[in-house]
Structure 1
Amino acid sequence: MKDIDYSLYLVTNSKDKRNQEFLNIIEESIKGGVSIVQVREKELDLIPFYEKAKAVKEITDKYDIPLIINDRLSIAIALGADGAHVGQDDIDGALARDILGPDRILGISAQTVEQAKKAEEDGADYIGCGAVFTTNTKKDADSVSIEDFKKIKESVNIPVIAIGGIKTENVKELKGTGADGISVVSAIMNAEEPKKASEKLLEEFKKI
């Protein structure tokens, strides 16, 4: 597996957006520095999800950016996506690894040191850790303090990505945590200029 740059990790949310507008946001964000994209569309049924993910894959393939599918491993495999991401309430991490095989990227969400260690043992390539800030995208998300994030990062040997409520103004608060990347939804998906928003987020992340 090639080295993955997790610096600016975009998670999609197409709610209230026309399809072409949604796809334009994805492409502009990649031009602005997004290094990996996850399709996470919890409100979509199987076929619409597949069709949207397929359209996103055409863009990520064009720019040679890894595509991750949230939760739906069958779609990740059917599309030939680079990997999948699962949460603590989704499929067990070890089973997800078995299904995906050894060559696809597996991301697992973790909010505690114990969960992070298990994720690494189960074969995760990276951990999504948060919510580090208040988020409206996932209102039931458990919060993870900056100090706890740092402990989680120190407990594993795989990349740990900060998620939850991240925007340009608060990236600096992650300084000293060792975060391998920042995962954003609204700060890019709802931005008037996704390319500029991505550039600014990446610029702030590189400062920490």
Structure 2
Amino acid sequence: MPKVDYRLNALVDARFGDKAHLADLARIAALNGATLIQYRDETSSTREMIEQARAMCAALAGTGVPFVVSDRVDVALAAGAAGVHLGRDDIDAATARSIMGDTAIIGLTVKNEADAETAIASPIDYACIGGVYETLSKHNPDPPLGLEGLARLRATLLAAEPNLPVGAIASINAQRAADVVAAGADGVAVISTIFAAVDPVAATRELRACVENALGEAS
């Protein structure tokens, strides 16, 4: 059984720090249906990131929901996070594994066939395919994959690693969650759908329910 439950990965982006404490946002998501919490911060200093990540770890204590840090193995280790999520320009997964150990959670972004082949050859615990749709949350020079691209890359991954959890990311809302699961995803990664919502509690619960319903229909 995969050690990562990827049904709902809630990405707590530092951009939402002016809305509420990031640690509070992480706990809200964890208590209302998120199965993985990911901290993404592309602007803060290393010191600030470590402080935020430590606060998020503390807030998630007792929830049973694992916490990973985007891109930064050093921050993940310093904060006591469960693992790290890596992109194509970050440290390679094999090196991250050698530093963080066998029990760490290591995820990888997959944007194209070359990334998929890299993922297959890497010691990772999940892959996240995207962007499936156009996103405004970060600069992405790659065009959206669409549902066909998602299905194609998912098939490539699972042909080699049939038990690898595979998620989907980029502008996914409740309706699109059902669509990406139907295309083969095991779950979704979201930012604004939860944390830009007027009611993040309700948004998290709704999204988790949509994923569950779609997984039930796909099984």
Q: How does 1:141-156 map to 2 (within 5 A)?
A: 142=142, 143-156=144-157
Contact 1:126 1:160 in 2 (8 A): yes
Q: CA deviation at 1:117?
A: 2.6
Instruction: Give TM-score, length-normalised by structure 2.
Output: 0.88
Q: CA deviation at 1:141?
A: 5.2
- Write out per-residue CA displacement over residues 70-92 of structure 1, whole angstroms, 9 at most, x where no aligned residue: 11101212222111011011122
Segments of structure 1 that go 5 or more residues without pairing to the other structure are: none
Amino acid at match of 1:69: V
Contact 2:54 2:80 in 1 (8 A): no
Question: Which residue number corresponds to residue 49 of structure 1?
Answer: 49
Deviates more, 1:85-94 or 1:123-132: 85-94
Question: Which residue number corresponds to residue 137 of structure 2?
Answer: 137
Q: 1:120 to 1:97 in 2, by over 3 A?
A: farther
Instruction: Give TM-score, length-normalised by structure 1.
Output: 0.92
Question: Which residue number corresponds to residue 72 of structure 2?
Answer: 72
Amino acid at match of 1:121: A
Question: Which residue number corresponds to residue 179 of structure 1?
Answer: 185
1:7 aligns with 2:7: yes
Q: 1:16 to 1:110 in 2, by over 3 A?
A: closer
In the alignment, the residues of structure 2 paired with residue 40 and residue 46 of structure 1 have an alpha-carbon distance, to the nearest angstrom, of 12
Q: How does 1:25-36 map to 2 (within 5 A)?
A: 25-36=25-36
In the alignment, the residues of structure 1 paired with residue 74 and residue 29 of structure 2 have an alpha-carbon distance, to the nearest angstrom, of 26
- Write out per-residue CA displacement over residues 41-74 of structure 1, whole angstroms, 9 at most, x where no aligned residue: 1111101100011111012223121010111101
Q: CA deviation at 1:161?
A: 0.8
Contact 1:6 1:182 in 2 (8 A): yes
Which of 198, 201, 211 is the matching residue for 1:192? 198
Question: Which residue number corresponds to residue 38 of structure 2?
Answer: 38
Aligned to 1:124, the other structure's residue is in SS state coil
Contact 1:30 1:195 in 2 (8 A): no
- Write out per-residue CA displacement over residues 1-38 of structure 1, whole angstroms, 9 at most, x where no aligned residue: 97321101011113253485433322222221011101
CA RMSD of aligned residues (A): 1.9
Amino acid at match of 2:188: I
In the alignment, the residues of structure 2 paired with residue 171 and residue 180 of structure 1 have an alpha-carbon distance, to the nearest angstrom, of 10
Q: Percent identity?
A: 27
- Write out per-residue CA displacement over residues 89-127 of structure 1, whole angstroms, 9 at most, x where no aligned residue: 112222222222222011111112331232131111111
Q: How does 1:81-160 map to 2 (within 5 A)?
A: 81-140=81-140, 142=142, 143-156=144-157, 157=161, 158-160=164-166
In the alignment, the residues of structure 2 paired with residue 104 and residue 128 of structure 1 have an alpha-carbon distance, to the nearest angstrom, of 17
Contact 1:131 1:141 in 2 (8 A): no
Q: 1:5 to 1:33 in 2, by over 3 A?
A: same
Amino acid at match of 1:138: K
